[in-house]
């Protein structure tokens, strides 16, 4: 028996769905979200003159209600154009300051479209909302993506014992573009935490940089700076991000031990940990079969904690019925942008908003979905809002030792 000690745990009873008729899976090349990201990315090549004309037209649209009423162009039109160009400057500075490396033109146009309706508000209110918009851009692009949230969780099981808890660090969804201040702060935090074991649940590179040699070298450099007495273990992430060729190179060149549909039994001072690493295809029907094979009695022992590393939370309805004691996942990024009461605007899960981020009990099995550390890539804005990047330090201990 195992339990998570934590607040705000989401308790879900859910039957596994069959996806035999599903054509597109999240995290795989060719799904609708992936096609939108890459098709819009082409718009980044529009000439600057064309972009400026589009921004001016959007500014005129913002002043259209006033013009129709008063037959004159309002001052708000000029102010709105200034806010548009300020957004563009702020987004363009991000790569120059080595914070993030997203395309500024299309994101500026997206922000401009979001700003236009607020320009239609009564005088005074419209200006206030546009100023607030700029502050949100600064916060969402410059502050929160680098505001690392480091926190502790407890996992208690009768299968564990020992005087001291086992310290296990969970990291996920790095999406490295370059070694920025975020990656450097992560490495520094890992050294400060001094975990006994490090577990990684996939997505090494940013979607825009999966073939970029510098990003690949920086990712290798990042993992070479991770160490733990009991080892660094991980699984690959989405097929569209973590190509087997690069992940194999990563595991050969760094301390990372790739669990590619493998189980690994670790004898720790706190008890036996059976790591189950399933390579994510994003098709739970296929990956359940792989997990079932890993859980065969020839490969595992009932005395060990069965700890599943799997990139997506979508396997949890299946794994919860197969005797897994704890599943660690990522993939959703918590949505990256969350709103109060609403939560994630988009979760990238086959189960919709059932699985977003945080602690769950799925059919009695503990599941934790990391918000991740990096950001998606392609045309997706390098933004986080109410969804800070996170490192989770787990304390594994027996039911008689909960200190």
Q: Residue 368: CB partners within 8 Å, gap ≥ 6? A: 4, 153, 170, 326, 327, 328, 329, 358, 359, 360, 392
> pLDDT of 187-228, one tens digit each?
999 999 999 999 999 999 999 999 999 999 999 999 999 999
Q: Coil, helix or strand for 312? A: coil
Separation between Cα atoms, residue 282 and residue 309, nearest integer Å: 13
Separation between Cα atoms, residue 156 and residue 7, nearest integer Å: 15
- Write down the pLDDT at residue 6: 42
pTM of this structure = 0.92
> pLDDT of 81-100, one tens digit each?
999 999 999 999 999 999 99
Q: Residue 96: CB partners within 8 Å, gap ≥ 6? A: none
Of residues 36 and 136, which shows the higher confidence score? Answer: 136
- Write down the pLDDT at residue 300: 65
Find the angle CA(213)-CA(215)-CA(218) to the nearest 5 degrees.
110
Long-range Cβ contacts of 343-349 (<8 Å, 24+ apart): 344/387, 346/33, 348/26, 348/27, 348/33, 349/26, 349/312, 349/313, 349/314
Domains of the chain: 2-6+149-398 (3.60.21.10), 32-144 (no CATH)
> pLDDT of 44-54, one tens digit each?
889 999 999 99
> pLDDT of 281-327, one tens digit each?
999 999 999 999 999 865 567 789 999 999 999 999 999 999 999 99
Taking every pair of Cα atoms in the chain, the longest distance, rounded to a whole number of angstroms, is: 81
Cα–Cα distances in angstroms (integers) from residue 263 to residues 136, 258, 276, 310, in the given order:
45, 10, 4, 12
Q: Coil, helix or strand for 3? A: strand
Separation between Cα atoms, residue 112 and residue 60, nearest integer Å: 12
């Amino acid at each position: 028996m195992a339990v998570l000690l934590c607040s705000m745990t989401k308790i879900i009873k859910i039957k596994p769905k069959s996806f035999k008729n599903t054509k597109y899976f999240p995290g795989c090349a060719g799904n609708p979200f992936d096609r939108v990201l890459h098709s819009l990315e082409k718009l980044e090549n529009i000439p600057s003159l064309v972009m400026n004309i589009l921004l001016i037209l959007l500014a005129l649209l913002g002043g259209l209600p006033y013009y129709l009423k008063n037959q004159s162009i309002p001052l708000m039109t000029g102010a709105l154009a200034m806010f548009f160009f300020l957004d563009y400057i702020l987004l363009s500075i991000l790569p120059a300051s080595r914070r993030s490396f997203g395309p500024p033109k299309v994101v500026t146009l997206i922000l401009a479209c979001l700003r236009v309706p607020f320009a239609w508000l009564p005088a005074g209110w419209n200006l206030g909302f546009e100023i607030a918009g700029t502050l949100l851009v600064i916060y969402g692009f410059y502050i929160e993506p680098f505001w690392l949230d480091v926190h502790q969780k407890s996992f208690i099981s009768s299968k564990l014992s020992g005087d001291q808890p086992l310290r296990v660090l969970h990291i996920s969804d790095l999406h490295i573009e370059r070694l920025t201040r975020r990656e450097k702060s992560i490495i520094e935090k890992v050294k400060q935490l001094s975990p006994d074991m490090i577990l990684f649940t996939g997505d090494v590179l940013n979607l825009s940089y999966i073939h970029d040699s510098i990003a690949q070298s920086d990712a290798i450099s990042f993992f070479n700076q991770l160490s733990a007495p009991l080892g660094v273990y991980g699984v690959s992430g989405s097929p569209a991000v973590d190509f087997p060729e690069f992940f194999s190179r990563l595991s050969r060149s760094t301390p990372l031990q790739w669990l590619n549909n493998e189980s690994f039994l670790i004898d720790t001072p706190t008890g036996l940990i059976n790591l189950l690493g399933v390579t994510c295809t994003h098709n739970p029907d296929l990956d359940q079969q792989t997990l079932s094979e890993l859980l065969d009695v020839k490969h595992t022992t009932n005395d060990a904690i069965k700890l599943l590393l799997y990139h997506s939370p979508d396997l949890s309805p299946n794994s919860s019925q197969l005797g897994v004691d704890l599943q660690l996942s990522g993939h959703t990024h918590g949505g990256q942008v969350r709103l109060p009461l609403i939560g994630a605007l988009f979760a990238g899960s086959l189960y919709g908003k059932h699985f977003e981020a945080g602690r769950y009990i799925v059919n009695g099995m503990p599941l934790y979905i990391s918000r991740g550390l990096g950001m998606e890539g392609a045309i997706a804005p390098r933004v986080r809002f109410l969804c800070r990047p996170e490192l989770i330090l787990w304390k594994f201990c027996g039911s008689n030792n909960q200190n």
